[in-house]
Each structure stands twice: as C-alpha cells, then as structure tokens.
C-alpha cells in the first residue's frame, strides 16, 4: 500500500476565504492536493483570527509555529514532508533555509499570490503621477528579494499570464521554475443564469474588497471622489454599497447615505451580496495578480465595469463581461448604461460565462500541477542541478538569513 505523501504549507496568515481572494486561492490549493491524496499540515506564526477557516473541516492539520525559533527545526524534522509550500516570498525568506537544512529532499514550492514588486512599483508610479513602465521593476528593492525567492524554490505558482511574461522576459527566469495557475472554478452553462436573480430583481452598484489591501482602499477613494459624483449627477437614484473586511476609521467616514454612498463593512456572505447586486464597480488604478472580486462577479452573473489594470490577464482575447474604462467620466457613463439597459446587461452576463469556461477551469490546471510536483519528487536532483542561479543564491542568501535568524533567536533568549 502506497504511503500518503505529506504536504506542509507555511502560511503568511491563516486562510480567510471570506475576507480576501488570497484566502480563497489558498483553499483551492488545499483542495487540489487533498483530492490527490496528500496529507496536509498547515502552520503559521500569525495570530488566530475570528474569521479564519476551520482547517480541520477540510481534513487539514493546523499548528502554530514561532518565528526565529529552532523549535521549527524539530517540528519539520519529525514531520518530514515530501513537499513544502511557502505562502508568499516573505515566508520563504523566513523559513526556506530551515527547510533546506532539515529536509533537503523536500520539494519547495512558492505561491507568489501576485508579484509584490509589480504591485509596489505601480503604486509608486501612481503616487508620483507618472506612467508605470516595466523597467521600473529592475530598480525595485522588493523585486530583488522576490526574484531571489523564486530562484531558490523548485517551483513557483504564478497567478497571472502577464506576470509569467514579466518573469520570463524582464527577469529572465527559466520556464522550468514557473507554473501558471490562475483562480480555479467550476464550469458554468448559460442555463445556470436561470438559477440566479434576474435583472429586475437586482438593485444597486457594489464594490467588495479587503480594506487592508492598499489598491482596494485607493479604489474606494477614487469611486467617492471622481466617479460617484458623475453617476449621481446623471442617475440621482443610484446607490453604491461598499463592502470589505477591516474597514479603517477613514473608510467609515466616507459613509454618506444621503448621497447614496454606503460603507457596509465586512460582507458575511459576499456571494449573496454580489448575486443580488446589478453591477460591480471596480475602478482599480494599481495592483497585480488577478482580481478575485471580478471573477466572483462573473460567477454570480453580475456584470462589471473596471479598468485596464483591473481586467489585466483575466479574459485572454474574449470581450469583458461589461466594460473596461480608464477615464472616470466614461467609466460613470458605461456604469449607468450597464445598470439601465437590460439587453446590454444580459449580453454581459453571457460574456462572463465564456471567460469562466475558457480561462478558469480547474480540470485544465490541477492535474498538470500534481503531475509536475510528482515529477519533481522523482527528478529533484537533476532539476536543482540545472538551476545554478538558485543554488548560488541559496548558498549566499540563506547564510545571511540563517545567521540573522539565529542572532534574533539568541537575543530573544537573553
């Protein structure tokens, strides 16, 4: 009888699928490995939260760990995982050298979530009121850390085809170290729309996004200051409801019911809210990765209006399920048209289904991922031998990270 393979996931935070797309992505990864017979242990140094998922319900073992502590070394030696998945590059920096030192044969996978260097460089360009260019990435400090982490790992999961292109063309990363893995959902049929609320039974514009995520907070500010006044001018009855986990006091101060602008706070059931809204507004001005909120809108049969950054790498060559518009006045006009024109709205719904079925089918990616991981388990020595830059970085960078961590640990004991 074959022994179960062991997967250790080291989380940046405990998964909160109802709070962020990152939490949903992590649960998709857990599902893929679980379905393929892996025994999964999820550990994190983060504090428990009221909104984290109960991992035991998914057959996952949960354990808290400490930063800069040799207790992790004892733990991982005993567990002896076949595969270790790092949740974001900061976690690989913190624990990667310990994994190498104590379980050198374990396959190391990095889930980037999105390219942090892309998000950071875009945000800086935006704040300086200039156009972002790919060359900006080469001088970005976080890029040096993130790319080093990608090179040190056996495989990195990349959520966006645009980010795959950046990694290969700008940073010259070998394709063998990368695997494109978008959000994964079930197939939809047009008749599924009959099970969703109809046009006449839906009300309001809606935006959903975790307020701790800077691109979301900026989007809410942009809606309030530049777009909502134009919508209200031409459509006085319009209502926008803004939902998001962890709203700040600044965000709550934007609540203005007299103006049809509502800050609603955390959405207990985001899916139900989006299903009953008529149009999703997402004028995102900077960021990276894929936008989970826009894919969720498609699944809910809810058309959306977004920007070129919001729609980036999300729909291949297919027409968007609504409109893509970067000019705020045009954005407002398109939003009103989509809200008021039932035929336009229904056509947009169907376009969303086409995008889901072409770009996000679980079966198209999950089997490939498991096959690749299984191949790495068999051929890890050869794979690593050909990753010279990764070996070089591991030799030097891990030494500095290791000694810094050991210094912090010794300091904490005194």
Question: Which helix (H) or strand (E) segment is 111 a member of?
Answer: strand 107-111
Selection from 88, 98, 73, 87 nearest residue 30 by Cα: 87
Q: Is 103 left (phi over 0), alpha (psi -120 to 50) or beta?
A: beta
Nearest to 293 by CA among 282, 305, 301, 285: 282
Q: What is the pLDDT of residue 398?
A: 61
**Beta partners for 282?**
306
Orientation angle between helical segments 362-385 and 21-35, nearest 10 degrees:
80
Nearest to 346 by CA among 324, 321, 325: 321
Phi, psi for 9 (deg, rounded to 5): -105, 125
Question: Tokens 């299903």 — which residue?
Answer: 275
What mean pLDDT value characterizes the chain? 95
pLDDT score of 3: 74
pLDDT of residue 2: 57
Pairing of strands 61-64, 155-158: unpaired
Q: Where are the alpha helices (DSSP H) in 235-327?
A: 249-252, 270-276, 292-299, 308-311
The pLDDT of residue 413 = 78
**pLDDT tens-digit readout, 118-150:** 999 999 999 999 999 999 999 999 999 999 999
Burial grade of 191 (CB within 10 A; 0-12, 13-18, 19 or more):
exposed
**Sheet containing 155-158, strands listed edge to edge, beginning at the edge strand earlier in sequence:** 61-64, 38-44, 5-11, 83-87, 107-111, 155-158, 178-180
| pLDDT (tens place) for every residue of the chain, 414 residues total | 457 899 999 999 999 998 888 999 999 999 999 999 999 999 999 999 999 999 999 999 999 999 999 999 999 999 999 999 999 999 999 999 999 999 999 999 999 999 999 999 999 999 999 999 999 999 999 999 999 999 999 999 999 999 999 999 999 999 999 999 999 999 999 999 999 999 999 999 999 999 999 999 999 999 999 999 999 999 999 999 999 999 999 999 999 999 999 999 999 899 999 999 999 999 999 999 999 999 999 999 999 999 999 999 999 999 999 999 999 999 999 999 999 999 999 999 999 999 999 999 998 899 999 999 999 999 999 999 999 988 888 877 666 667 777 777 777 877
CA distance linking residue 140 with residue 135, whole number of Å: 9
Alpha-carbon distance of 44 to 328, in angstroms, equals 41
Provide Rg for the chain, Cα atoms.
Answer: 22
Q: What is the DSSP string of 199-238?
A: GGG---EEEE--TTSHHHHHHHHHIIIIIHHHHHHH-TT-
| Max Cα-Cα span within the chain | 70
Residue count of the chain, please give it.
Answer: 414
pLDDT attached to residue 394: 81
User: CA angle at residue 112 from 107 to 118, to 5 degrees?
Assistant: 145
Structure tokens at 166: 């950046």
Looking at residue 149, its pLDDT comes to 96
| Contact between 338 and 280 (Cβ < 8 Å) | no
Bridge partners of residue 410, in order along the sequence: none
Handedness of CA 156, 162, 168, 171 (dihedral sign): negative
What's residue 1's pLDDT?
Answer: 42
Facing residues of 83 across strands? 7, 107
Tokens 């980010």 locate to 163
290 Cα distance to chain centroid:
6
CA angle 83, 87, 88 (to 5 degrees): 125
Q: Is 395 helix (H, G, I), strand (E, B) or coil?
A: helix
Domain architecture of the chain: domains with CATH: 5-184+362-413 (3.40.50.2000), 190-359 (3.40.50.2000)
DSSP structure class, residue 321: S
């Amino acid at each position: 009888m074959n022994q179960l393979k062991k997967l250790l996931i080291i989380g940046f935070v405990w998964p909160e699928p109802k709070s962020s797309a990152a939490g949903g992505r992590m649960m998709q990864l857990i599902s893929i490995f679980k379905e393929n017979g892996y025994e999964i242990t999820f550990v994190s140094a983060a504090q428990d939260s009221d909104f984290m998922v109960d991992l035991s319900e998914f057959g996952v073992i949960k354990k808290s760990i400490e930063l800069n502590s040799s207790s992790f070394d004892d733990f991982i030696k005993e567990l002896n995982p076949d595969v270790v998945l790092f949740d974001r590059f900061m976690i690989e920096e913190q624990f990667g050298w310990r994994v190498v030192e104590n379980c050198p044969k374990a396959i190391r996978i990095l889930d980037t979530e999105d390219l942090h260097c892309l998000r950071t460089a875009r945000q800086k360009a935006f704040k300086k009121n200039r156009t972002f260019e790919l060359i900006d990435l080469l001088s970005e400090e976080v890029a040096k850390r993130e790319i080093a982490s990608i090179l040190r790992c056996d495989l990195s999961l990349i959520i966006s085809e645009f980010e795959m292109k950046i990694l290969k063309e700008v940073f010259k990363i070998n394709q063998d170290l990368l695997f494109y893995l978008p959000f994964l959902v079930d197939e939809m049929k047009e008749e599924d729309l009959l099970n969703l609320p109809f046009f006449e039974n839906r009300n309001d514009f809606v935006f959903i996004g975790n307020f701790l995520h800077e691109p979301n907070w900026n989007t809410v500010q942009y809606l309030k200051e530049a777009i909502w006044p134009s919508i209200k001018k031409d459509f006085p009855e319009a209502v926008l409801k803004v939902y998001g986990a962890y709203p700040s006091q600044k965000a709550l101060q934007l609540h203005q019911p007299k103006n049809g602008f509502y800050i609603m706070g955390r959405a207990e059931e985001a899916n139900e809210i989006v299903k009953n809204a008529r149009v999703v507004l997402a004028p995102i001005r900077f960021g990276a990765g894929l936008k989970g909120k826009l894919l969720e809108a498609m699944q809910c049969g809810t058309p959306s209006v977004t920007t070129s950054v919001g729609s980036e790498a999300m729909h291949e060559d297919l027409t968007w399920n609504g409109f893509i518009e970067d000019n705020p006045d045009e954005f407002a006009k398109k939003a009103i048209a989509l809200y008021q024109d039932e035929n336009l709205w229904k056509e947009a719904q169907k376009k969303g289904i086409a995008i889901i079925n072409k770009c996000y089918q679980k079966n198209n990616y999950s089997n490939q991922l498991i096959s690749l991981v299984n191949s790495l388990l068999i051929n890890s020595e050869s794979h690593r031998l050909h990753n010279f830059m990764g070996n070089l970085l591991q030799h030097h960078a891990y030494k500095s990270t290791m000694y810094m961590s050991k210094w912090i640990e010794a300091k904490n004991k005194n």
